[in-house]
Chains A and B, each alone.
Chain A
Amino acid sequence: MKLTLRVWRQRGPEDGGRLVEYPVEDASPDMSFLELLDVLNERLIETGDEPIAFDHDCREGICGACGVVINGRAHGPERTTTCQLHLRSFRDGDVLDVEPWRAGGFPVVKDLVVDRSAFDRIIQAGGYVTAPTGSAPEAHATPVPKPDADLAFDNATCIGCGACVAACPNGSAMLFTSAKVSHLNSLPQGQPERGQRVLDMVDTMDAEGFGGCTNTGECVASCPKGIPLTSIATLNREFLRATRTR
């Protein structure tokens, strides 16, 4: 199939950046979107051009490294990661605008690569259970009701790709933060740090330059792992609960 890519090229953070058009004549519907970029890059190298920089690693939808905005949608038209998006989702002759995640919290590094280290700093602020190695109690000593375990699990599946931020008109990181808070705060292991965790994580989120949540819901629509909007409600409730004693 034939596709026209208009790809965001930006040499570095100081560069202004621009869309550059690349036609691809012989794409296969079985290719993943990243394989399309591979094929294009190999041609660019052969013709003496610089290949397009983009983030990717596992290519099976779990590491969270990949992610570009395609025709205005984070990860493209399907609700999946860019590595699991196949060209059969597009029509022959389509023109695709390919851009990096755009958000204040995610500065552009080069072309389609952005800096998502702010997510790491949100986790460092409290997205963990303090459990020193080597002295953990017997695993069966604390049963966890299955509904709680399932709720924790549904939130723990977040891959930290940042699509929620890229999709949000406010560049908010609420869905990401709420997933970790919902995961840990719904388990007995997470209780002792429950209040401090949410306060510290929200403070860091704000300090990193992410916007506030206005319940638009674009984050949920673009989340490849199906983190629900109710997680944001949980985050708000946990935050209110914790501020009473702040």
Chain B
Amino acid sequence: MPDHDTDHDADHPGGYTTGEPIADHAAPEGPIAQRWNTRRFQAKLVNPANRRRHRIIVVGTGLAGASAGATLAEQGYHVVQFCFQDSPRRAHSVAAQGGINAAKNYRNDGDSVYRLFYDTVKGGDFRSRESNVYRLAEVSAQIIDQAVAQGVPFAREYGGLLDTRSFGGVQVQRTFYARGQTGQQLLLGAYQALSRQIDAGGVEIHPRTEMLDLVVADGRARGIVARDLVTGEVSTHLADAVVLATGGYGNVFSLSTNAKGSNASAIWRAHKRGAYFANPCFTQIHPTCIPRSGEHQSKLTLMSESLRNDGRIWVPRRPGDERPPAEIPESERDYYLERQYPSFGNLVPRDIASRAAKNVCDAGYGVGPGGLGVYLDFADALARMGRPAVEAKYGNLFEMYERITAEDPYEVPMRIYPAIHYTMGGLWVDYDLQSTVPGLFVIGEANFSDHGANRLGASALMQGLADGYFVLPTTLNDYIARGGFTALDPADPAVRTVESEVRARLERLLSIEGTRSVDSFHRELGHLLWDHCGMSRTAEGLRKALERVPGLRAEFWRDVRVPGAGAELNQELEKAARVADFLELAELLLLDALVREESCGGHFREEHQTDDGEALRDDERFAYVAAWEHGTRPVLHHEILNFDHVHPTQRSYT
């Protein structure tokens, strides 16, 4: 075992203990290309006539949740599905812009399942599982077929065939897209499939209902406690299995590209009921976000990474150059990505592009207010392709940029800066997507799997749909087929206790009647995390933040003000419960970042870098998944990662 394991100290705020190693026993042995086939064949089946007797709870209706709910209902299960939005169509997957990867090699540019697998493992900085990633690449082609059959209007060429483009970190064109609204179109496809099942009676849908806790009985996940956000009614729903498809926890940073409602409560509550939390510190910072404009700002808006196909990124060669961009001649511009990474140029992966932007801004070359921005310039593309072609490809993104900044990107270059975007960490799952609580399955961004320490562009949509349409329906079948379910009485103490704990917690939040708003605590936590656990991290900064979080949490529980009552639509109460969970998750996130004494992907520890400022991994000691068990003090379990096919090397994009 790695030798730093003994580094725990009860008095230190970052204290933890080390537990038994953990392993993924669900992935079959044998040639990697055969493993998914093998698992599918070995998975036990449930007779279609028996499926309707089983209730499955699915929480979340994004790409993963909606596709899973639709598919399970189609198989014949009775699905009970929840989302906190007023309609399942509004899940945050709807906001994904750029595209979805698939190894179809329609361009005949040398793509293959193996190459997508290779790019993903490398892009994730060798911190993901080979078996999972191979399966993801394998299933990717089927996702496109499925979406097209549903009527998803992907971009097409004049011959009527599907168009593709490139994304960061790859040298082939494997990204399928629907203008800058790919997530919306794929989500509507899954939502429509789900809607069909709702009408057919296979899915019982509960919109505006939020999961607040997990029911575990006899060691198995058997239900959830949820709050109806309109009436405030707290109720328990029981089932034979629970699927969490609740997205990522990037909003722990307060300002992020996530929808305002995105939260960690479902996975955090499940964690506290026994599900291990893996790699919480793996946060993706997206390089092409519109810079923030002021303190009132509630949300950061992303510009699709696809813009980097035609836009060129640069800063002035002279620090503090305040001339308008058009007046800076070519010879005085530094196209720093093209200079540092000639073979990938502006299409380097997100972690590399983000850090490069931070470095030039830190060195004083940044543009715009506060010097926190770099130019993303379409002048060359406009001259080369003409305005109509640029409009056809990126029109809606340009319009969005203009709306937010009041600057016309056809006339002046866009300004961009990195922002919190996606969390690669999440609940630990095995190859079957099952967590450490039997019967609790976790899919999409809510789990930790497949992306390692950095996610390549256009891979999130791929993973969400792979999990929901293809992987989970197979592995969940196997779990149900193995049976052994006893009828669970709603009056069972295991059920009653969870429900009363949820009620007590809500009542406590309402009774504090302090002086500070929920948002003020959230902003303070966000600043703390961004400053000390953002684009770069140091042991000193992480320790400082770890010391401050418990104090902030205590102040929250002493001084937060939640107006209104519980038995009504109360948006402040919703926020308060979520921020309370963020205040706990933040501490684990900081601890995980402190323990991982290396740099990899989105996790950059300043103490661990190469001479030219690239992330310096330590494969000897850290080629593992950190799976945290909840306890008085967190318990760290290591899952050692093996690389039999893609051998870890220094990632190079030069």
List A residues at the B interface (Cβ < 8 Å). Answer: 11-12, 28, 30-32, 34-35, 38-39, 42, 45-46, 48-51, 53, 55-65, 80, 84, 86, 88, 109-110, 113, 115-117, 119-120, 123-125, 127-134, 136-140, 142-146, 149, 152-153, 156-157, 159-160, 183-184, 187, 189-190
Main secondary structure of the interface of A (DSSP, over half): loop
Residues of chain B in range 245-283 having any CB-CB distance to chain A below 8 Å: 259-261
Give the most central of B85, B92, B188, B193: most A CB within 10 Å. B188
CA A69 to CA B508, docked complex, whole Å: 36
Given contacts A120-B88, A131-B150, contact A86 B403 (CB under 8 A): yes
Counting chain B residues whose Cβ lies within 8 A of the other chain, the interface size class is 35 or more
- Taking CB atoms, residues of chain B closer than 8 Å to A144 are 156, 160
Whether a CB of chain A sits under 8 angstroms from the CB of B294 is yes
Chain A residues near B400 (CB-CB < 8 A)? 60-61, 84
Complex interface: chain B residues within 8 A of A84 (CB): 400, 403-404
Tell me the bound Cα distance from A138 to B104 in angstroms: 10
Q: Assuming the A-B contacts A124-B195, A129-B151, are A143 and B145 also in contact, with contact meaning beta carbons closer than 8 angstroms in the complex?
A: no
How far apart sit A186 and B51, CA to CA, in the bound complex (Å)? 36
Q: Which of chain B's residues have a CB closer than 8 A to the CB of A56? A: 260
Q: List 22 A-B contacts (CB under 8 A).
A: A30-B293, A31-B296, A55-B86, A56-B260, A58-B92, A65-B85, A110-B569, A113-B569, A117-B87, A120-B195, A120-B198, A123-B89, A128-B195, A130-B196, A134-B71, A139-B104, A139-B145, A140-B161, A143-B159, A153-B153, A153-B185, A156-B185
> How far is B159's CA from A49's CA once the two chains are assembled, in angstroms?
61
Q: How far is the CA of A59 from the CA of B144 in the complex (A)?
A: 28
CB nearest to B261 among chain A residues: A57
Checking A11, A59, A123, A134 against B195 with a beta-carbon cut-off of 8 angstroms, the contacting residue is A123
- Check if B149 sits within 8 Å of A137, measured CB to CB: yes
- Chain B contact residues, CB within 8 Å of chain A: 67, 70-71, 74, 85-90, 92, 94-95, 104, 106, 142, 144-151, 153-162, 178-179, 181, 184-185, 188, 191-193, 195-196, 198-199, 205, 207, 230, 259-261, 293-294, 296-299, 301-302, 400, 403-404, 406, 469-470, 473, 515, 517, 519-520, 561, 563-564, 568-569, 571-572
- Among residues of B, the one whose C-beta sits closest to the C-beta of A160 is B89
A140 / chain B contacts, CB cutoff of 8 Å: 106, 161-162
The 9 residue pairs across chains A and B that have the minimum distance between CB atoms:
A143-B160, A128-B192, A136-B149, A131-B149, A124-B199, A136-B145, A153-B153, A139-B148, A59-B299
Cα A144 to Cα B153 with chains together (Å): 10
Q: Which residues of A have CB within 8 Å of B564? A: 50
Residue of A nearest to B192 (CB): A128
Provide the bound-state CA to CA distance between A34 and B261, in Å: 14
Q: Name which residue of chain A comes closest to B198, CB basis.
A: A124
User: Is the Cβ of B151 less than 8 Å from the Cβ of A183?
Assistant: yes
| Residues on the A chain within 8 Å of B153, using CB | 149, 152-153, 156, 183, 187
Contact call A136/B568, Cβ cutoff below 8 A: no
Rounded to whole Å, the gap between the CB of A179 and the closest CB of chain B is: 11
Query: A1 CB to closest chain B CB, in angstroms?
Result: 13
CA distance A146 to B293 in the complex (A): 40
- Which residues of B sit under 8 angstroms from A156, Cβ to Cβ? 153, 178, 185, 188
| Cβ B259 vs Cβ A139 within 8 A | no
- CB neighbours (8 Å) of B149 from chain A are 129, 131, 136-137, 139, 189
Complex-state Cα separation, A58 to B85, whole angstroms: 11
Contacts of A46 in B (CB 8 A): 515, 517, 561
Closest CB in chain A relative to B36 CB, distance in Å: 13
Q: Give the distance in Å from the alpha carbon of A232 to the alpha carbon of B299 in the complex.
A: 35
Q: Are B469 and A123 neighbours in the complex by a CB distance under 8 Å?
A: no
A246 to chain B, nearest CB (A): 20
Inter-chain contacts of B296 with A (CB < 8 A): 28, 30-31, 35, 38-39
Residue contact A119 to B87, C-beta cutoff 8 Å: yes
Chain A hits for B406, CB < 8 A? 86, 88
Q: From B571, which residue of chain A is reached at the shortest CB distance?
A: A53
Complexed CA–CA distance, A61 and B403 (Å): 10
Interface centre among B179, B259, B302, B470 (most CB of A within 10 A): B259
For A200, the closest partner residue in chain B by CB is B199
A78–B110 Cα distance when bound, in Å, is 47
Q: Which residues of A contact B230 (CB under 8 A)?
A: 109
Q: B157 contacts which chain A residues (CB < 8 A)? A: 146
* Residue from A35, A49, A88 in contact with B297 in the complex, judged by beta carbons closer than 8 Å: A35
Q: Which residue of the partner chain B has the closest CB to A78?
A: B403
Q: By the criterion CB–CB under 8 Å, are A146 and B519 in contact?
A: no
- CB neighbours (8 Å) of B473 from chain A are 133-134
Decide: A116 and B184 in contact? CB cutoff 8 A: no
Q: Which B residues are in CB contact (< 8 Å) with A133?
A: 67, 70-71, 74, 146, 193, 469-470, 473
